[in-house]
Amino acid sequence: MDDFAADPSHPRYQSLLKRHQLEKAAEKGMLAGSALIAHGRGEAYDYLLGEQTIPSAMLATEFALNQLINAKKCVISLNGNTTALAGIELMKIASAIDCPVEVNIFYRTPERMKVLLEHLESINEKFGLNVKILGANPDSLIPGLEGPRAKCCKDGIFSSEVILVPLEDGDRCEALVAMGKTVIVVDLNPLSRSSRMASITIVDEISRVARNMLSLIENDDQLNDGENYENAKTIQKSILYITKSLSEKYDLQI
């Protein structure tokens, strides 16, 4: 990783690496002003989850991947933080399951769109992928949203029945669900509006989720078909995990 010099044996190596990736992305103009604050919120919840994929999150990941693979049409939505933290892995997933990605950002400016689109093109080139990258010319609107936040592509988000939208805003998540889509959200905060609104909520860190999905694809694993999947249980189990880990970290018998 270019100029990142931390020792991989450092207990917080992964966390430091992610910060470094975001700082580089910020320098390149890929992030909105609120992106680093949002990442910090994620760090706090990840700390409470032990910075690991908990079993309920793995189950949700499997089911989500199953839905993506079996969809008539699906898309992976990418914003600044997602691209910075897991752009390569998500592009490889899109390539493997043969779907497009769509750059879809909350604070849409031509400059940020350009930097993100170019960055994703460079991943296509570097890894010999041929993923269709949407977002440059939005030609549809998500009903129920106003302004630039409503913009999307007809060939991507607008017409897909299953959408992976990591780190999504609550309003947009709700609007996509209202369109009848299966909306897969990745969010470290199990209580966020996005988490509660989504069809499938993966309470996990996006780079771990992307690596887990890639590994499931590469090993051609039998995936949870979701016959008994209940998203409320996924959320409840993550909250239960956090409260247990908090209680264990400090003796509450006072």
| Helix/strand number for the chain, H first, E second | 9, 8
In whole angstroms, how close is the CB of 47 to a copy of itself at the nearest point?
8
The residues, any chain, with a CB within 8 Å of residue 168's CB and separated by 6 or more, are 77, 79, 183, 185, 187, 194, 198
| Residue numbers 6-25 binding a copy of itself by CB under 8 A | 19, 22-23
* Total number of residues that touch a copy of itself (CB under 8 A): 35
Q: Which is nearer to a copy of itself, 18 or 119 (CB)?
A: 18
The window from 36-44, 99-107, 109-117, 140-148 that contacts a copy of itself (CB under 8 A) reads 36-44
Which of helix, strand or coil describes residue 182? strand
Rounded CA-CA distance 129/133 in Å is 11
In whole angstroms, how close is the CB of 191 to a copy of itself at the nearest point?
6
In whole angstroms, how close is the CB of 59 to a copy of itself at the nearest point?
14
Length of the chain: 254
CB atoms within 10 A of CB 21: 20
Residue selected from 13, 34, 143, 221 as contacting a copy of itself according to rule CB under 8 A: 34
Site mask, a copy of itself, residues 39-58, x = CB under 8 A? xxxxxxx-x-----------
Retrieve residue 146's tokens: 């106003």
| Residue numbers 194-233 binding a copy of itself by CB under 8 A | 232-233
The window from 93-101, 102-110, 164-172, 186-194 that contacts a copy of itself (CB under 8 A) reads 186-194
Indicate the angle between helix axes 80-97 and 35-48, nearest 10 degrees: 70
